[in-house]
Amino acid sequence: TLSDRLTSVLSNLRGKGKLTDADIDATAREIRVALLEADVALPVVRAFIGQIKERAKGAEVSQALNPAQQVVKIVNEELVEILGGETRRLRLAKNPPTVIMLAGLQGSGKTTLAGKLALWLRKQGHAPLLVACDLQRPNAVTQLQVVGERAGVPTFAPEPGNVSPAPLSEGPAPQGVGDPVDVARRSLDEAKRAQHDVVIVDTAGRLGVDEEMMRQAADIRDAVTPDETLFVVDAMIGQDAVTTAEAFRDGVGFSGVVLTKLDGDARGGAALSVRHVTGEPILFASNGEKLEDFDTFHPDRMASRILGMGDVLTLIEQAEQAFDQEKAEQAAAKLGTGDMTLEDFLEQMLAVRKMGPIGNLLGMLPGAGQMKDQLAQVDDKHLDRLQAIIRGMTPAERADPKVINASRRQRIARGSGVTVREVNDLVNRFYEARKMMQQMAGRFGFGGGPGGGG
């Protein structure tokens, strides 16, 4: 797996101080093999490796990260990027009903997905309608009805007796009786009549891509003008996913992808390829036969899956923590200079606030024990008040708190809605913090030393 390969190649990097081009090439080779093994299509692998190399060679020199951590960080970030970056949500129409059409090969999981989507939407307060436009297999309509019942959602289908399997051979699709295009069209009227705000259109698929199937799907598409056309693809089919996706993109077009059968041993290579080759985002992931086995697709989670569990993930976490720590140390270095102003004080507090309780930051500083108690009182609510007080000061006061005399304290207190005592507390605490930071800076020389990665 990618995880195993990365772990071995990274262990060679661990002792080194700097990434050489040879290191990067060796790492890239391993990643390449691993991605190919994970069924990622070759052009995608090439693009990905090119990107990794470029970034690794121009990598920002990081004090905190060792070369192995840097590579892992880059690989992970690029994987997330190539998988789509941000999570893409389902687009609902401004004027209901929202029409969602499902397309894909037979067995890819469309009908199952129709039920999963219906349940998922119903739980969010929508009133979906399932539409049976697979009239080619005799029991396809029944299958959708069963799934719909389990999801608690009605199914629109041609009247029983009218359902005759369309010929699988050549020739135009029959019109009228059992015509999927007609069913699709009429389903919109039904949705309006029965006040369904989402319509999910299940379509027929073949075992391989063929023109007749594409034509039928395109006709259904034209009849209902979907807000989302979802290409449903079995993650287990690996490399074939790319050619199939291209065929559907050209034949029907789609706005998003759904990966199914991720509960199998698929490494997720198909996900990477389909997204990259078609440029369309992956919206959902299916990972089982039950209707609940379904979730929004998250690029970062899929990246973790491709990278593998265990060692590499731990490495990523360590890398990220080390990276945060580096930033925190930079912030602390600023605090340590004698000419720190109240403005800096506030800014740094807000910056480190993102990292969690301010006590955590202090814990990273050598010799910070004596300050811990004092800063432990600085909780988030308190920070809000401090912020208000400092905002209530003039720039001159912020730059040099010495000028803040009694009448100024009163004015600041009034202006920021706190007591004079709180203003006094802030000013006193600022002086103390500055003094301690200076002492610590003198003792440990912030800003010069190497970070503590690894």
Q: Which residue ranges make up the annotated binding site?
A: 104-111, 202-206, 260-263
Which one, 10 or 103, has the nearer CB to ligand GDP? 103
Q: 47: number of CA atoms within 13 Å, CB side?
A: 15
- Position 3 contacts Mg ion (CB under 5 A): no
Select from ligand GDP, Mg ion, none the partner in contact with residue 263, using the beta carbon and a kind-dependent cut-off of 5 to 8 Å. ligand GDP
Select from Mg ion, ligand GDP, none the partner in contact with residue 106, using the beta carbon and a kind-dependent cut-off of 5 to 8 Å. ligand GDP
- Position 111 contacts ligand GDP (CB under 6 A): yes
Q: How many residues bind ligand GDP (CB under 6 A)?
A: 17
Select from Mg ion, ligand GDP, none the partner in contact with residue 203, using the beta carbon and a kind-dependent cut-off of 5 to 8 Å. none
- Position 136 contacts ligand GDP (CB under 6 A): no
- Position 136 contacts Mg ion (CB under 5 A): no
Name the minimum Å distance from CB 368 to ligand GDP: 51
Select from Mg ion, ligand GDP, none the partner in contact with residue 98, using the beta carbon and a kind-dependent cut-off of 5 to 8 Å. none
**Would you say 110 and 230 are in contact if contact means Cβ atoms under 8 Å apart?**
no
Using a 10 angstrom Cβ sphere, with 0-12 exposed, 13-18 middle and 19 or more buried, the burial of residue 148 is buried
Q: Residues within the annotated binding site for GTP?
A: 104-111, 202-206, 260-263
Q: 373: number of CA atoms within 13 Å, CB side?
A: 1
Please list every residue from 188 through 207 that binds ligand GDP, using CB under 6 A. 205
Name the minimum Å distance from CB 6 to ligand GDP: 28
- Position 260 contacts Mg ion (CB under 5 A): no
Distances (CA, A) of 188 to 132, 148, 191, 194, 438: 12, 17, 5, 10, 72
Distances (CA, A) of 363 to 62, 140, 330, 360: 21, 62, 15, 5
228 backbone φψ class: left, alpha, beta (φ>0; ψ -120 to 50): beta
Which of 25, 211, 289, 400 contacts ligand GDP by CB under 6 A? 289
DSSP state for residue 192 in the 8-state scheme: H
Select from Mg ion, ligand GDP, none the partner in contact with residue 238, using the beta carbon and a kind-dependent cut-off of 5 to 8 Å. none
Distances (CA, A) of 45 to 97, 308, 435: 40, 17, 55
Task: Give the Cα separation of 54 and 46 in Å (integer).
Answer: 12
Select from ligand GDP, Mg ion, none the partner in contact with residue 109, using the beta carbon and a kind-dependent cut-off of 5 to 8 Å. ligand GDP
- Position 104 contacts ligand GDP (CB under 6 A): yes
DSSP string, 396-432: HHHH-GGG--HHHHHHHHHHHT--HHHHHHHHHHHHH
Select from ligand GDP, Mg ion, none the partner in contact with residue 288, using the beta carbon and a kind-dependent cut-off of 5 to 8 Å. ligand GDP
Which of 76, 111, 216, 304 contacts Mg ion by CB under 5 A? 111
- Position 295 contacts ligand GDP (CB under 6 A): no
- Position 216 contacts ligand GDP (CB under 6 A): no
Name the minimum Å distance from CB 143 to Mg ion: 6
For Mg ion, the nearest residue by Cβ is 111
Amino acid sitting at position 417 = G
Please list every residue from 242 through 271 that binds ligand GDP, using CB under 6 A. 260-261, 263
**Would you say 135 and 165 are in contact if contact means Cβ atoms under 8 Å apart?**
yes
Using only C-alpha atoms, what is the Rg of the chain? 30
Name the minimum Å distance from CB 241 to ligand GDP: 14
**Would you say 119 and 291 are in contact if contact means Cβ atoms under 8 Å apart?**
yes
Write the CB contacts of 28 (distance below 8 Å, at least 6 apart in sequence).
Answer: 49, 52, 53, 56
Which of 5, 110, 275, 276 contacts ligand GDP by CB under 6 A? 110
DSSP state for residue 294 in the 8-state scheme: E
What is the token pair recorded at 363? 């814990």
Which of 62, 287, 296, 337 contacts ligand GDP by CB under 6 A? 287
Select from Mg ion, ligand GDP, none the partner in contact with residue 246, using the beta carbon and a kind-dependent cut-off of 5 to 8 Å. none
- Position 311 contacts ligand GDP (CB under 6 A): no
Name the minimum Å distance from CB 17 to ligand GDP: 46
Write the CB contacts of 257 (distance below 8 Å, at least 6 apart in sequence).
Answer: 230, 231, 232, 233, 245, 274, 275, 278, 280, 281, 282, 283
- Position 112 contacts ligand GDP (CB under 6 A): yes
Q: Which residues bind ligand GDP (CB under 6 A)?
A: 104, 106-112, 205, 260-261, 263, 286-289, 293
Instruction: Give me the residues that bind Mg ion (CB under 5 A), please.
Output: 110-111
